[in-house]
Amino acid sequence: MLRGFRNPGYLGPEGLTRTWLQREAAALRTLQATPVKVPRYYGYLDGYDWLLMEWVQGDELLTEVADAGRRASLFDEYLDNVATLHQLDLDALDIDGELMPTPSPEMMLRGSATMATRAYRGATPGGAEPLLELGIWWVEHHVPAATRAVAFCGGDVGPNQFIFDAAGVKSMFDLELAHLGDPYEDLGLMRMREMCYPIGGLPEHLHRYAARMGEPLDMEALRYWTVVGMITGPLVCWERVTHPDPHLPDQIPLFSWDPIYRRGLAEALMEVYDVAPEPPQLPGPGGTDRTKLHQLLVGQMHEYYEPTLTEPEQQFRIRGTAALTETLARGDAVGPALERDNLDELGELLGATADDLPAGLARLEADVRADPERDLERRLRFFHRMQVRHEYLYEPIQRSMGFASNSPLTRM
């Protein structure tokens, strides 16, 4: 398998996307002599940035395994592989110190959140983000007391991130974000990923992982890294989601992830403060006089244009465009009603009716900055309900990308 770097502009400039590929190559090279199941590494072409690695035969769609027992068994086997990765003796490994530096204690706990916050603060100004401001405050003021030894982290682990066949797990993959850090960072991101790809029984899997590591599950660290994992996505993706660029063809998946991250952030904070979610009643699909035109456009894309395309990449993009059209149709049909519900609930929270939703959110953001913990339970319930409504509008895009929509964070 010959791999190049990601399209520049999607989540970062070209230099960053080249670095990600270089890091994956470095991680694969380092892990060849370990018991961790990864693809074979054949080489890297410097300057041009091409990675040659093994094409591993098998399947990665754990979520499509119908037998719950087999699904659980495969994921436990995969977590054993993750635990093996986390338990590697770093001193015995030949690690590229430039691509995977050993972090300081401060960088280990705050590095990813600090980087994401810096990207958000430096992005093009947009609307108010009271939920993100609350999340940033929480992460900065709730670093866990206990620390762990630096470990080799995969960077993006969880369901549908490993290859398996009838004999069991063959290989983990997608190591472009591999780094040295706190292994619980991997677990927090895993909880987010399980919202996208629900497999069931995640708490039991995580406790089994902890037993494999020889210690009880550290709930304080798990909750901290879950919040960090949830907020990092919206902060990093904020520029591209808020100011999409029509010249970049790979943006549709961002509009699948972003609502999950945001709702996940609200649910992770609700878990921390033991607030039970109360999701809103969502409307039916509805329709307007324009619905039939949206349906005509989507039908033409699937029935006429998609069959004429021979390249998988082109077919993927036309399906994403069709899903975007479905999303706009849903917004046309029920978006105004959902916004009225948000505005009504926001008025109750603020104690005064706002002129419109942007103005009300700006006032709430100012309140959060002034006193983050005031009316915290009521704020969290509002944020959660608003994000559930928001994600409902994006369900067609999420469905086209293979993600679950409005699947809750599995509580521990």
Tell me the pLDDT tens digit for each residue of 194-250. Answer: 999 999 999 999 999 999 999 999 999 999 999 999 999 999 989 889 988 888 777
pLDDT of residue 284: 83
pLDDT of residue 10: 72
pLDDT grade, residue 12 (50/70/90)? confident
pLDDT above 90 (res 13): no
Mean pLDDT to the nearest integer, 65-94? 97
Mean pLDDT to the nearest integer, 282-301? 89
Tell me the pLDDT tens digit for each residue of 348-406. Answer: 999 998 889 999 999 999 999 999 999 999 999 999 999 999 999 999 999 999 999 99
Q: Tell me the chain's radius of gyration from C-alpha atoms.
A: 22
Phi-psi region of 160 (alpha: psi -120 to 50; beta: other; left: phi over 0): left
pLDDT of residue 131: 98
pLDDT above 90 (res 313): no
pLDDT of residue 286: 79
Tell me the pLDDT tens digit for each residue of 25-68. Answer: 999 999 999 999 999 999 999 999 999 999 999 999 999 999 99
Percent of the chain with pLDDT over 70: 100
Mean pLDDT to the nearest integer, 272-301? 91
pLDDT above 80 (res 9): no
* Contact by Cβ (8 Å): 180, 102: yes
pLDDT of residue 101: 95
Percent of the chain with pLDDT over 90: 83
pLDDT above 90 (res 21): yes
Give 84 or 124, the one with higher predicted confidence: 84
What's the mean per-residue pLDDT of the chain? 94
Going from N- to C-terminal start, the domains of the chain cover 2-243, 244-412
pLDDT grade, residue 252 (50/70/90)? confident
DSSP per-residue string spanning 14-62: HHHHHHHHHHHHHHHHHHTTSSS--PPEEEEETTTTEEEE----SB--G
Give residue 228's Cα distance to chain centre: 11
Tell me the C-alpha to C-alpha distance, in Å, between residue 85 and each of 144, 153, 180: 23, 7, 11
CATH homologous superfamily of 2-243:
Aminoglycoside phosphotransferase (APH), C-terminal lobe (3.90.1200.10)
Measure the CA–CA gap between 17 and 12, rounded to whole angstroms.
Answer: 7
pLDDT of residue 257: 92
pLDDT of residue 250: 77
The number of C-alpha atoms within 13 Å of 107 and in the hemisphere containing its C-beta is: 9
Tell me the pLDDT tens digit for each residue of 92-134. Answer: 999 999 999 999 988 888 888 999 999 999 988 889 999 999 9
pLDDT of residue 248: 79
Tell me the C-alpha to C-alpha distance, in Å, between residue 366 and each of 255, 268, 325, 344, 361: 26, 22, 35, 19, 9
Do strands 151-153 and 179-181 pair parallel, antiparallel, or not at all (unpaired)? antiparallel
Tell me the pLDDT tens digit for each residue of 147-197. Answer: 889 999 999 999 999 999 999 999 999 999 999 999 999 999 999 999 999
- Three-state DSSP at 68 gives helix
- Three-state DSSP at 265 gives helix
pLDDT of residue 8: 79
pLDDT of residue 34: 97
pTM tops 0.85, yes or no = yes
